[in-house]
Amino acid sequence: GRNAEKPTAWRLTLNRYAAPLGYEKHRPGFPWHRDLKANGAASLVLSLGGAGTLQFAEDPWSSSSSASSLLAFGSVQPGIGGISDGIRYSDNAVPEEVDLRPALEVEVRGGDLLLLTGRARWEMLHRVTAVKGPGGTDTERASLVFGCW
């Protein structure tokens, strides 16, 4: 647990998902990742603006994952991805060619607050995909990510 004598450490990150430019079909999403270890034991994501879909997938490098049933590609190399204490802390270690199968999808709209703790925080990866706005258009959105230890 957390040392009660030590003050809570907070971190705040702003993510902006701009509306697509004329040559783009869709608003860019955000690739598979785990939030930085520096974000803390809990990540709270406040969605602002247009809707977005968060997809969650098992981390194939996690010691608790059954990688063969979770991945749509060949084999997983154990020991890659910055594993320490049985947890892969690196958030950018998911190669683009890794084809993860989403285990859960959550649509977040402006004003929604999502809390990631425990298994969802440390053993699963997530990504953001675009959701069409009214009239089939992609709208701009942002999120504030609060992390605390």
Whether the CB-CB separation of 148 and 40 falls below 8 Å is answered with yes
Instruction: Name the domain count of the chain.
Output: 1
Q: What is the pLDDT of residue 98?
A: 81
Which one-letter DSSP state was computed for residue 79?
A: T
Residue 5: inside a domain, yes or no?
no
pLDDT at 64 over 70: no
| In the predicted structure, residue 3 carries a pLDDT above the cut 70 | no
Whether 1 is covered by a domain: the verdict is no
Inform me whether the pLDDT recorded for 37 exceeds 50.
yes
Residue 118 inside a domain? The answer is: yes
CA 130/CA 141 separation, integer angstroms = 9
Q: What is the pTM of this model?
A: 0.70
Q: What percent of the chain has pLDDT over 90?
A: 25
Tell me whether residue 124 is in a domain: yes
Assigned domain for 2 exists = no
- For position 129, which CATH number holds? 2.60.120
